[in-house]
Structure formats: structure tokens, C-alpha cells
Structure 1
Amino acid sequence: MAAPKIALVAGEMSGDLLGAALVTALRARLPAAHFYGVAGPRMQAAGVEAIASIEQLSVMGIAEVLPALPRILRLRRALIRRLSADRPDVVIGIDAPDFNLGVERRLREQGIRTVHVVSPTVWAWRAGRVKTIARAVERILCLFPFEPAFYAARGVSADYIGHPLADQLDASVTPAQARAGLGLPTDGPVVAVLPGSRGSELKYLAEPFARAAHLIAAQVPGVRFVTPLAKPALRAPMEAAIATHAAGLTWTLLDGQSREAMQAADAVLIASGTATLECLLLGRPMVVSYRGSPLTAWLLLKAGLLKTKYVSLPNLLADEAPVPELLQDDATPERLAAAVVELLAPGGARARQLAAFDRVRATLRCDAAARAAEVVAGLLGA
């Protein structure tokens, strides 16, 4: 076959990482292929010609998206024009579904093959998006093992490739090694406290997490706490919560380094979100919590907007509930503290979690990039 042209569109830095691994795996199968598209530094280092920067799409939050919307729409129109004229052999959208699915649908209508990597969470809410996905892509490549069956029941071709984080992370780093890397004492119990990466999450979780830490310290002699901060703006509210509700505790705040903080811990108190998957893969037992506005909580937990049995990814992937989920009114300092203290003891709840994590990790570790490359190469007849 002639040297294929493969266009990729990644919308976030996590997509850049996955895109780079996918290009490397595809190049092993298709050494003459030309790769180009919306790419970040890792994809460019892997040999992707950037026709637009990933920074143009890496926008989070309504307040940030609205002023950037005209620029994003211009980029989408220009990208569709360019790819319509080029007619690549396949267009691969990586995550960023709000942007990519619209681009993919327009190109597929013109007879261009389209693949989307990373399923939106249609199995959790807004299941109606499956119809959009069916129109937009020929294949969707899924990171979680339960997703292909969900799509198959709705007539969409989907393949399970495993999760790229499972290929990168493991539980081999000991708490003592991680603490030494962070300059922390290597002895004694440590609890990592991760109340979220957004100001809105700290608004609801900083206080109960700090109060829970105070209760934990009263029961666990010598315990220390560590919190990674996703951005500098979160330091002041976290410091205020600690000073008000957990004064006198030994507590270290880090700039970033969330994985290192989890690796340093004997147990983790964490906000529900994607970081819980990292915690699972790193082999650290956890207590998951969520608190939000009364309206948001009612819509998700009472009105049926959330369609899954569990909230946290570890429980969804284990198809059981080894991880305590303390949500909204149940997220009291007393319950949070009791659940963490139970995990600090050997055996029991701690052992059950770690055994479940081992099973999930084995399922997710599939060399996701190689599997994705196999599907794409198959579509191209290579």
C-alpha cells in the first residue's frame, strides 16, 4: 500500500501522552506513514507534524472556555477544511470529545475514516451521546473493559485496548522510597489527603478532610499528613482549613507531585475523580469522598442523572465496593476518619482493597498503544 497519511487530534496533555505512544506503535507497523495534526510536545517528539498546537484546545472550566470559544471554533473550521482537502487515510481523535466528535462527524460524512480513542463516560451519564458517537466514528477504542459491551448493545463498533496509565504505573515503589524522594521522614504512618484539583472541590472538601485528619491524629500516634496541590491558588484555602480545623498536626503541602504523595502514603483520603485510578494502580488503599452543591448532588445521586452503581472508578472497575464511598451528607469527619483508620491496620479492609486492585491492574495492563495501533492498522489493511 502507498504510504498512509494519518491525522491525529489530541486536545489535552493526557491525550498528547497517549498520542505519542500510539504513533510510536503505528510507526513500527507502518514505517513510511506520515503523521500530522493537533499535537503536543510528546507527539511532536514522536514524529507528528503539528499543524496546530494542543495548547489551543487545553481549556478547562466554563469560565475559561467561554472567552476561548471563538478561537476554538475557528480552529475547528480550519481543521475540517484542511483535513477535507488532504483526505488522510484515517483521522484519529484522542479524547476531547466535545471538540473531536464534531470534527470526526463532518469528516466521516465526506467518506474519511475516523477513529476515536477514549470513550466519553456515556455509561455514567448523558447516554444519548452514543448516537453522536455512532455518526462520528467508525470505531471507538475504549480504556475500560466494560465499555465495549455497552457500545455493542447500541450498535457501535468498539474495541478494548486497556488503560495507558496501567502500562506506566505500578505498585513497586515503597512508601519509604517515596518519602525519601520527597524529603519526608521514612518512619511512622502517613496519610495522603487529596481534596481535589479545583477550587470548587476544596470549597466543599477541605474542611471535612481537615477535621477528619484531626480525628485520625487522635487515634493514630505519630501520624503525618501530606497534600499535593494541583496549582498555587489552592494553597491558601488548604492552609486556612488546616489552621482552623487541624492545628498542630504534622502536615506537608506539596506543589504538584500527586503520584509521589500517594506513593508515600499508607492510606489516601481522596476526592472522587480520575486520581482514584492512579491511586489504585499505585497500590495504595483509599477512602473516596464527594461533596458538592445541594443541587448538583441531588441531580447526580437522587434524580438519577448518574447511571452507575458506584461513583469511584476503583469500584466500577472491580464491580464491587472494596473502596468506601462517603458522599455528600455521609462525608462527615467522623465517618471519613473511621474509614481511614481502618485502612491503616493490616489485613481486613486494607487487604481486601489491595487484592481487588491487583485484579483490576492486571485487566487494565494490555499495552494500550500497541492494541490501538493494531486496530488502526487493520482498518488501513496493513
Structure 2
Amino acid sequence: MLTIGMVAGELSGDTLGADLIREIKKTHPDARFLGIGGPQMQAEGLTSLYPLERLSLFGLFEVLGRLPELFRIRDGLVETFEQEKIDVFIGVDAPDFNLRLSKKLKDRQQNAENQNLSNSHLIKTVQYVSPSVWAWRQGRVVSIGASVDLVLCLLPFEVDFYTKHDVHAVFVGHPLARLLPLDHQVETGKQELGIAPEQAIIGLLPGSRSSEVAQVGGILLESAGQLLKQFPGLRFMIPAANEARLTQIKALVADQPQAIQQAVQVLEPDDRAMLSGNLGRRVMAASDIVMLASGTATLEALLLGRPMVVVGRVHWLTYLFVRWMIKIPWLSLPNILAGRRLVPELIQSQATVSNVVAEMKNLLSDPHFRLGPWQTQHVELERIHTRLKSENVSSAAEAVLALLPKERVDATV
């Protein structure tokens, strides 16, 4: 029986991890999965040893107060993985945590081999979702190569970067690129949520982490309030990723004027949404325009073909560090993939209510949201979706299983 360790650090990773578990179970239905995951991975059979929320951190300096706890979790996972003799460890996103965990597993195995311990057990290590090493802190590629046996890349250009540095990498794409249609009609999304097709909807997605919501949520809501004064027919929807974010978002909404409170609907995470991980996706699918935090949700908005305004804020020390190290002019995935400023991205000092409102008014200038700036975004987003869907995509499950000794794989089929 294959035993696989997996760790996801946030809800987008939970979605990817659940999809990978399903794919592996098609050929190895008896495989065991343990580590850290959210409701989707657990529903597919993962035994989660710690709550996923404990890893849902954002920014470099924001994690400093949590380092002792993170080290305890990492060391506890290493002990369990070795005791359970897992065949492979797959870190799903969360690279700052998962790459260190992979390196610790590698170091322990090396020490055991050096001491000629007979009970040493070889564990392969995989990083699913490359860190943005091609964008900043490029020197990390050396430590990545020393920590993992394989990198599963969501973006096609990442493989070339790793190949140049002799790191084994495979382009597997994003599962949603295959699942979502190229032309996802907003009317269909509205119908699924019981919204009249003529009702103009703006999706507000401040993120799934507490720190993201704290940094970005107020800006999005205040911007919504300003837009409502000029476009009184607008309505706004906010998905809450979990119960903790629901409480946090409702508190932010309660601080807004009465008019915006009445125009905003907060979608609560029910069992169906938690297990499918698609509450945010459903809101984006029903939205004419999306205002959202910079992060992986921008890729989902891209795949849905939704025009967007991206807003990003982190601790000022984190921003200074990242800005100093970064090698590319953009931070949001749509702009990185387009190679130009396709969607407005307002980062740090630019992330102000006045700037968000100005960008939104540019998109709202056409009453039907289908001409001018909207159409420019939409055509390019569909082109990128086509590329992500069709470019020599490999199976993530097959790439992982190919790492393992043939006798282990064959014995469990």
C-alpha cells in the first residue's frame, strides 16, 4: 500500500491537493494520505494531523511571531512521516514551510545513510506549485534542487527556468484550466446563485487568510461604498472562505455605512462549498467585474474570463524586502502570464480607495460591461486560458508515481 504525505497551507492548495489525491486513487485506490489539508483533501481520504488554518500565513515578517509553532508542526510531521514510512512527500504550495520540511526529510535520510542505519527509509519529495523563484530570490533554486526530487509547475515557462538550473520539473498546469470552459457566461453564474441576469454584480474577494482580509478587506468595502454613490444599481458579493473569515468579514461590513451594508451580500461557507472549495469561484462566475486580493484567486478569475482589479497590501517591511528582491515588473498572475499590464494591479502605496475606484470606473464606463476596457481584458484572458489548457500538460499523478521504485508502484496497483 502506498503511503503519501501531503501538506497544503491554504484553501487554494486544498483544492489542488484534493484533485491530486483523486487522480492517484484512480490507479491506487488503497493509497493512504496523511499530513495537513482542508475539508476537500480530508473528504478525499487525507488524515489531517494539524489544522490547515495554522499554516495560512501571508508575508515574511507576519510569520515571525508564529515561528516556534511552525517549527513544532514541521518537526512533528517529520517524525510521523518517518514512523509511517511514507513513500513520497508532496508539499502543495506554501513553499516557505514545505520546502523546509522537504529539506529536513532529506537531511535526516542523509544522516541515516552516513551512519549506515539499517532502518533508514527513502522518501521522495515533491513541490506542487513552484514558488515564484523566477521572479525574486532566484538564488533559492539551488536550495530547491537540494530539497525536492521534482517540482510540479502550474505555469509553462517555469519548467525552462528549472531546467537551466538542473532541477527536475514538469509542467502539469492548473486543473481548473481543463475543467472550466473557455467562455464561461456570467449569466450562467448568476443563475446558479439565483441572481437576475440584468443585475450588475461586483465580486469582492479579500482573500482566505486573516492577514489578507485585514489588509485588503477595508479597502475593497470602502471602494464599493464610493462606487455605489455613482452607480446605485450595483450589488456586491463577498465569499467567506471559512467560519473564521465569515466573522472577520461581517465585522468589516458592519463598520461601513448603512447603504453599503444593504448592498453587500456575504456568502456563508456551507458544507457543499467547503467540500468543493468553489464558493469564491461561484461568486467570481456570477460577477461582472471582480475586485480581489493579489494571489492565486487571480488565476481563477483569469480562467473564468472575468475583468478584474487586483489589490495587494502586506506589512511594510515585507513589501520593502520583496520589492528589493523582485526581478519582474508585475505581481499578479494575469499580468505575469500576459507579459504586460493586462489588468490593473494596485500594490501597497497604490492600493488606495481613490485608485481602486478610478480603475473600476474605467471598467464600468460601458453600461453593459462588454465593450472597451472590458473586451480588451476578456480577449487576452481567454487566449491565456487556451494556452494553459493546451500546452503539453502532463499528469501530476503520473509524474509523482514515476518517481517511486517500480516494485512499490506495481505492488499497490
Same fold (TM over 0.5): yes
- The structural deviation recorded for 1:175 is 3.1
TM-score (norm 2): 0.75
Is the 8 Å Cα contact of residues 217 and 249 (structure 2) preserved in structure 1? no
Q: Secondary structure at the match of 2:6?
A: strand
Matched, 1:120 2:112: no
- The structural deviation recorded for 1:147 is 1.2
The aligned counterpart of 1:81 is 82
- The structural deviation recorded for 1:10 is 2.6
Q: Secondary structure at the match of 2:156?
A: coil
Q: Secondary structure at the match of 1:38?
A: strand
Is the 8 Å Cα contact of residues 164 and 368 (structure 1) preserved in structure 2? no
Identify which of 329, 337, 341 aligns with 1:317.
337
The aligned counterpart of 1:287 is 309
The aligned counterpart of 1:359 is 383
**Alpha-carbon separation, structure 1, partners of 2:203 and 2:42:** 35
Q: Specify whether residues 164 and 69 from structure 1 end up closer, same or farther in structure 2 by C-alpha distance, changes over 3 A only.
A: same
Identify which of 248, 255, 258 aligns with 2:280.
258
Is the 8 Å Cα contact of residues 78 and 105 (structure 2) preserved in structure 1? no
Q: Specify whether residues 53 and 309 from structure 1 end up closer, same or farther in structure 2 by C-alpha distance, changes over 3 A only.
A: same
The aligned counterpart of 2:173 is 162
TM-score (norm 1): 0.80
The aligned counterpart of 2:273 is none
Matched, 1:59 2:83: no
The aligned counterpart of 1:237 is 252
Amino acid at match of 1:252: Q
Q: Secondary structure at the match of 1:365?
A: helix
The aligned counterpart of 2:141 is 130
- The structural deviation recorded for 1:35 is 4.2
Once the two structures are superposed, the pairs formed by residues 129-278 of structure 1 within 5 Å of their partners are: 129-170=140-181, 174-220=185-231, 222-230=233-241, 231=245, 232-240=247-255, 242-243=256-257, 247=260, 250-256=263-269, 257-278=279-300
Q: What's the Cα RMSD here?
A: 3.5
Q: Specify whether residues 96 and 105 from structure 1 end up closer, same or farther in structure 2 by C-alpha distance, changes over 3 A only.
A: farther
**Alpha-carbon separation, structure 1, partners of 2:343 and 2:80:** 43
Number of corresponding residues: 369
Q: Secondary structure at the match of 2:395?
A: helix
Range 158-167 or range 203-212, more displaced: 203-212
**Alpha-carbon separation, structure 1, partners of 2:157 and 2:70:** 34
Give % identity. 35
Is the 8 Å Cα contact of residues 228 and 253 (structure 1) preserved in structure 2? yes
Deviations 1:174-214 (A, max 9, x none): 43343344344442322222334445444444444344334
The aligned counterpart of 2:395 is 371
Range 279-288 or range 30-39, more displaced: 30-39
Q: Secondary structure at the match of 1:146?
A: helix
The aligned counterpart of 1:305 is 325
- The structural deviation recorded for 1:276 is 1.2
Deviations 1:268-296 (A, max 9, x none): 12221221111111221001122344444
**Alpha-carbon separation, structure 1, partners of 2:55 and 2:190:** 33
**Alpha-carbon separation, structure 2, partners of 1:254 and 1:199:** 17
Is the 8 Å Cα contact of residues 103 and 146 (structure 2) preserved in structure 1? no
Range 273-282 or range 287-296, more displaced: 287-296
**Alpha-carbon separation, structure 1, partners of 2:319 and 2:94:** 25
Q: Specify whether residues 334 and 26 from structure 1 end up closer, same or farther in structure 2 by C-alpha distance, changes over 3 A only.
A: closer
Question: Which ranges in structure 2 are unaligned for 5 or more consecutive residues?
Answer: 58-62, 114-121, 270-278
Deviations 1:23-45 (A, max 9, x none): 443455x5587444436565566
Amino acid at match of 1:316: I
Amino acid at match of 1:235: K
Question: Which ranges in structure 1 are unaligned for 5 or more consecutive residues?
Answer: none
